[in-house]
Structure 1
Amino acid sequence: MRITIVIVDDHAIMREGLSQVLAQQPDFSIVGTCGDGRQSLKLIAELRPTVVILDISMPGLNGIEVTRQVREEWPECGVLILSMHASSEHVFQAIEAGARAYLKKESAARDIVEAVRAVSAGRRYLGPGIAEVVAEHLGTRKPGENPLQSLSRREREILQLVAEGHSSAEIGALLFLSPKTVDSYRSRLMGKLGLADVPSLVKFAIRQGVIPLE
Structure 2
Amino acid sequence: MTISIVIVDDHAILREGLGQVLAQQPDLEVVGSSGDGRQSLKLVAQLRPDVVILDISMPGLNGIEVARQLQESGAACAVVILSMHASPEYVFQAIEAGARGYLQKESAASDIVEAVRAVRAGRRYLGPGIAELVAEHLASRKTGDNPLQLLSRREREILQLVAEGHSSAEIGELLFLSPKTVDSYRSRLMGKLGLADVTALVKFAIRHGVIPLD
Scaled to the shorter chain, the TM-score interval is: 0.5 to 0.7
Between the aligned partners of 2:134 and 2:68, the Cα distance in structure 1 is 19
1:19 aligns to what?
19
Between the aligned partners of 1:43 and 1:89, the Cα distance in structure 2 is 28
Between the aligned partners of 1:130 and 1:41, the Cα distance in structure 2 is 26
- TM-score norm. by structure 2 comes to 0.63
1:48-59 alignment runs, 5 A limit: 48-59=48-59
Would the aligned equivalents of 1:92 and 1:134 in 2 still touch at CA under 8 Å? Answer: no
Taking a change above 3 Å as real, the CA distance of residues 24 and 94 of structure 1, as seen in their structure-2 partners, is same
How far the C-alpha of 1:96 sits from its partner, in A, is 1.1
Deviation sequence 1:12-31 (CA, Å, 0-9, x none): 00000000000001111111
Between the aligned partners of 1:122 and 1:83, the Cα distance in structure 2 is 21
Between the aligned partners of 1:7 and 1:111, the Cα distance in structure 2 is 16
- Of residues 46-55 and 65-74 in structure 1, the stretch that sits farther from structure 2 once superposed is 65-74
Between the aligned partners of 2:104 and 2:114, the Cα distance in structure 1 is 14
How far the C-alpha of 1:135 sits from its partner, in A, is 2.4
Between the aligned partners of 1:73 and 1:118, the Cα distance in structure 2 is 22
1:61 aligns to what?
61
Matched, 1:100 2:100: yes
Q: How many residues are matched?
A: 141
Between the aligned partners of 1:3 and 1:39, the Cα distance in structure 2 is 22
Matched, 1:133 2:133: yes
How far the C-alpha of 1:138 sits from its partner, in A, is 4.0
Which residue identity lines up with residue 134 of structure 2 in the other structure? V
How far the C-alpha of 1:75 sits from its partner, in A, is 4.1
1:79 aligns to what?
79
Q: Percent identity?
A: 78
Which residues of structure 1 form unaligned runs of 5+? Answer: 142-214
Would the aligned equivalents of 1:101 and 1:119 in 2 still touch at CA under 8 Å? Answer: yes
Between the aligned partners of 1:55 and 1:119, the Cα distance in structure 2 is 16
Between the aligned partners of 1:79 and 1:62, the Cα distance in structure 2 is 13
RMSD: 1.5
Taking a change above 3 Å as real, the CA distance of residues 117 and 135 of structure 1, as seen in their structure-2 partners, is same
Which residue identity lines up with residue 78 of structure 1 in the other structure? A
- TM-score norm. by structure 1 comes to 0.63
Deviation sequence 1:53-76 (CA, Å, 0-9, x none): 000000120000000011111342
